[in-house]
Amino acid sequence: MQIAPSVLAADFTRLGEEIERVSSADLLHLDIMDGHFVPNISYGPEVVAALRPLTTLPFDVHLMLEHPLAYVPAFLKAGADLITFHVECKDPIEETLAAIHKGGAKAGLVLKPATPVETLWPWLDAMDITMVMTVEPGFGGQSFMEPMMDKVRAIKKRAPGLLVEVDGGVNDRTIQLCAQAGVDICVAGTGVFRAENAEEAIKRFQSW
C-alpha cells in the first residue's frame, strides 16, 4: 500500500518539521479548497511552492475547486507531480485532464460519496489515477464510509491497471478494508500526523 499523508492534518505552525516527519511516505497529499466547491478554504499554490524544496516526495495535489482548469498552471509551476480534480466540477473534464498532462503531471478524477461510480467511465482511458472519497470532502477527521469500497471494486473490475486512491478516515482498521478492495494509495491525515511516531504509523500502513 502506498501512503500519502495529508498536509491538512499537519501542525501549520511548523510545516517544515512536519514534512520531515513523513519522509518515509510515498507521496505528500495537498488538499486545495476554494470555499465554494467545499465550504472550507485551505491554502493556495504559494504554500505548495514553499513546501517543494523541503522534500523529494511526489506532490499529490487534490483540487476541491468549482473551476480547477484555471488553476492547473499555477499548481504545476508550484511543483505538483499528480493533480486530481472532481468529476462534479463545473469545468470541461477532458480539457482539464489534457491541461494537466500537457504540463507534465499525472491526472485523475475524484468522486464524492454520493456520485455514482459510472460517472467515471467515459474518461477511464484519459486518467492515470482516480480517487474515491471515503468521507465528504472539505473536512478532516470524519468517519470512513465502508460502502465506498464497492466503487473501488467496480473501478478495478473495469480498469484493472488504473491506480485507485482513497481519501478520508483511513486508520489501522479501515486500511484493511482498503487493501481487501484493491486500493493502491491511501491518503492518511490524522492517522499519520497525529500519531506519536509518524514514521512507525506510515510503515504500519504501508505493510498492507
- Number of structural domains (the chain) is 1
Look at residue 100 in the predicted model and tell me its pLDDT: 98
User: What backbone phi and psi angles, to 5 degrees, belong to 201?
Assistant: -60, -40
* Structural domain of 165: 2-206
Quick: pLDDT tens for 50-82: 999 999 999 999 999 999 999 999 999 999 999
Burial 31-45 (b: 16+ CB within 10 A, else e): bbbbeebbeeebbeb
Give yes or no for a contact between 89 and 68, defined as CB atoms under 8 angstroms apart: yes
The three state secondary structure string of the chain is CEEEEEHHHCCHHHHHHHHHHCCCCCCEEEEEEECCCCCCECCCHHHHHHHHHHCCCCEEEEEECCCCHHHHHHHHHHCCCEEEEECCCCCCHHHHHHHHHHCCCEEEEEECCCCCHHHHHHHHHHCCEEEEECCCCCCCCCCCCHHHHHHHHHHHHHCCCCEEEEECCCCCCHHHHHHHHCCCEEEECHHHHCCCCHHHHHHHHHCC
pLDDT confidence of residue 142: 76
82's CB contacts (< 8 A; 6+ apart) are 27, 58, 59, 60, 61, 105, 106, 107, 108, 128, 129
* CA 99 to mean position of chain CA atoms: 18
Residues of the chain with pLDDT under 70: 139-141
Q: Where residue 124 sits, what CATH number does that domain have?
A: 3.20.20.70
Give the model's pLDDT for residue 140.
64
What global pTM score does this model have?
0.96
Q: What is the pLDDT of residues 91-114, one digit of tens each?
A: 999 999 999 999 999 999 999 999
| Alpha-carbon gap, residue 18 to 60, rounded angstroms | 16
Q: Which residues are catalytic?
A: 31, 167
User: pLDDT at position 26, please?
Assistant: 98
